[in-house]
């Protein structure tokens, strides 16, 4: 919304020149009306001149017009003509009644004109502040506020704008919370908050600051206050956001430490216990027991490796990882992910249905394989290794649609968005929460980094489906 520029006050010289011109025009019109139409009473012609000048100027020129029209009417049209002498008593009453009526009408007309001008100025001032308010409402930071303020003051006051933010603006103001006018036409206004000075606003007017009337100065100060409030708002929002990020970082750090302290110590304790048993009784222990202990070391070692890999992946994704892409077959990535799952879940039963003629995808293969591994492993974890996990791969328009469905108890609707949060784990009926709560969070981060989408849906026969949508990509 563009506000109309604020109107300038009438120039006094032009207003008084209009008074003289109006009187001259009334004399000429009265001469024409008397000579060509034979009009005898010409007082209304001069009254009209007074009203026109009063409506376009103010009280001073209106008063001058009334006096000039009184003198001209007496001099040119009251007998004896071309003198200021009035011959008859009724003529004296006429011209002085005309003077009184002209003064009253001029005063009323000038007051009405001033009220109309004041309403127009108020409307323009309101429009200028409204335009500034709309621009400031869309400003999200300090530089955006500065740009909005510069545009608004330039449009409303035809002024060049200079803004400085920060504590060093006090030096420009020569003292906080004060206004200064420089000798070269600069007018400096403080941008103050209740407890500090946020900055200083400098206005360079084409002529000088003295050409602004009281109303324009008031609206300039009000607009400066609006800018100060917007700056304060952006600073408070930035501080709140910084505090939120700090709080979230601390929460994640605490969650990470809690998760690591439990989920890493458990496999380590199993590995250490199995190694101690082998060291103490390995020579006398039956072969089956030694194999079981070695299997425990291997399984817990792989479990520990998965935890550490998840933590490393989450750290890389949290630092703004940009995938290094190449062409990969989606069905091959699914197969590699299943093979990794079967290394620590030998009994896993995964059924893959792939549409024929699938084109390759332009992705970072290792990351997509990790995401698929986490989703399939999560499905086996909650569906059970003895249950079948169905994986369907389809090519729809310019995207790949990969659906992983288990046959477990399903995920409640209230939990379907939260399961993608870090360290959030859904309670299992058989043994409570399981895992670190990072698998699906890592999968979503990888999919989003590739410009895709991941969501939880209901499985047709009961259970949960995780649908991954990836763009085909371009070379």
Q: H/E/C letters for each residue in the chain?
A: CCCCCCCCCCCHHHHHHHHHHHHHHHHHHHHHHHHHHCCCCCHHHHHHHHHHHHHHCCHHHHHHHHHHHHHHHHHHHCCCCCCCCCCCHHHHHHHHHHHHHHHHHHHHHHHHHHHHHHHHHHHHHHHHHHHHHHHHHCCCCHHHHHHHHHHHHHHHHCCEEEEEECCCHHHHHCCCCCCEECCCCEEEEEEEECCEEEEEEEEECCCCHHHCCHHHHHHHHHHHHHHHHHHHHHHHHHHHHHHHHHHHHHHHHHHHHHHHHHHCHHHHHHHHHHHHHHHHHCCCCCHHHHHHHHHHHHHHHHHHHHHHHHHHHHHHHHCCCCCCCEEECHHHHHHHHHHHHHHHCCCCEEEEEECCCCCCEEECHHHHHHHHHHHHHHHHHHHCCCCEEEEEEEEECCEEEEEEECCCCCCCHHHCCHHHCCCCCCCCCCCCCCCCCCHHHHHHHHHHHCCCEEEEEECCCCCEEEEEEEECCCC
- Mean pLDDT of all residues belonging to the chain: 76
Mean pLDDT of 368-393: 83
pTM of the predicted model as reported, rounded to 2 decimal places = 0.43
Q: 251-287, pLDDT tens digit by residue?
A: 766 655 665 565 577 778 888 888 888 888 877 888 8
Residue 176 confidence (pLDDT) above 50: no
Q: 80-93, pLDDT tens digit by residue?
A: 777 777 665 555 66
pLDDT of 262 reads: 56
- Of 378 and 172, the structure prediction assigns the larger pLDDT to 378
Q: Domain spanning 321-471: which CATH class is it, in words? A: alpha beta
Domain residue spans of the chain = 12-120, 265-316, 321-471
Percent of the chain having pLDDT more than 90? 2
Q: 195-252, pLDDT tens digit by residue?
A: 777 788 888 776 655 566 677 777 778 888 888 888 888 888 888 888 887 777 677 6
């Amino acid at each position: 919304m563009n506000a109309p520029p604020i109107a300038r006050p009438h120039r006094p010289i032009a207003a008084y020149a209009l008074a003289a011109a109006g009187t001259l025009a009334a004399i000429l019109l009265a001469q024409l009306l008397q000579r060509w139409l034979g009009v005898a009473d010409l007082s209304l012609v001069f009254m009209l001149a007074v009203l026109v000048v009063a409506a376009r100027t103010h009280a001073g020129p209106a008063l001058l017009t009334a006096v000039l029209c009184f003198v001209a009417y007496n001099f040119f049209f009251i007998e004896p003509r071309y003198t200021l002498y009035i011959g008859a008593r009724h003529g004296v009453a006429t011209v002085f009644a005309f003077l009184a009526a002209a003064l009253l009408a001029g005063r009323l007309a000038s007051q009405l004109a001033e009220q109309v001008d004041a309403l127009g100025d108020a409307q323009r001032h309101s429009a200028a502040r409204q335009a500034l308010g709309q621009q400031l409402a869309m400003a999200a930071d300090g530089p955006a506020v500065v740009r909005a303020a510069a545009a608004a003051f330039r449009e409303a006051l035809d002024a060049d704008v200079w803004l400085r933010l920060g504590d060093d603006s006090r030096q420009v103001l020569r003292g906080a919370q004060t206004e200064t006018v420089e000798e070269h036409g600069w007018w400096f206004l403080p941008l103050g908050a209740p407890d500090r000075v946020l900055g200083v606003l400098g206005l360079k007017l084409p002529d000088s600051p003295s050409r602004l009337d009281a109303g324009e100065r008031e609206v300039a100060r009000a607009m400066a206050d609006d800018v100060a409030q917007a700056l304060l708002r952006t600073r408070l929002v930035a501080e709140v956001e910084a505090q939120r990020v700090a709080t979230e970082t601390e929460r994640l750090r605490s969650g990470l430490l809690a998760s690591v302290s439990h989920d890493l110590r458990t496999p380590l304790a199993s590995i250490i216990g199995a190694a101690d048993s082998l060291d103490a009784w390995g020579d006398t222990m039956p072969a089956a027991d030694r194999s079981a202990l070695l299997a425990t070391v291997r399984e817990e070692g792989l479990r520990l490796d998965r935890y550490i890999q998840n933590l490393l992946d989450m750290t890389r994704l949290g630092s703004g990882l940009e995938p290094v892409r190449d062409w990969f077959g989606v069905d091959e990535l699914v197969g590699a992910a299943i093979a990794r799952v079967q290394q620590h879940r030998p009994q896993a039963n995964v059924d893959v249905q792939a549409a024929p003629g699938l084109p390759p995808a332009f992705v970072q293969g290792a990351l997509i394989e990790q995401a698929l591994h986490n989703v399939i492993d999560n499905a086996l974890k909650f569906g059970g290794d003895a249950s079948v996990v169905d994986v369907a791969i389809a090519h729809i328009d310019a995207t790949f649609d990969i659906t992983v469905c288990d046959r477990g108890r399903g995920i409640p609707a209230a939990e379907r968005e939260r399961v993608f949060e870090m360290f959030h784990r859904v309670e299992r009926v058989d043994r409570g929460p399981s895992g670190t709560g990072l698998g699906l969070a890592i999968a979503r981060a990888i999919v989003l980094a590739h410009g895709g989408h991941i969501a939880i849906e209901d499985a047709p026969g009961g259970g949960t489906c995780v649908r991954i949508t990836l763009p085909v990509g371009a070379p």
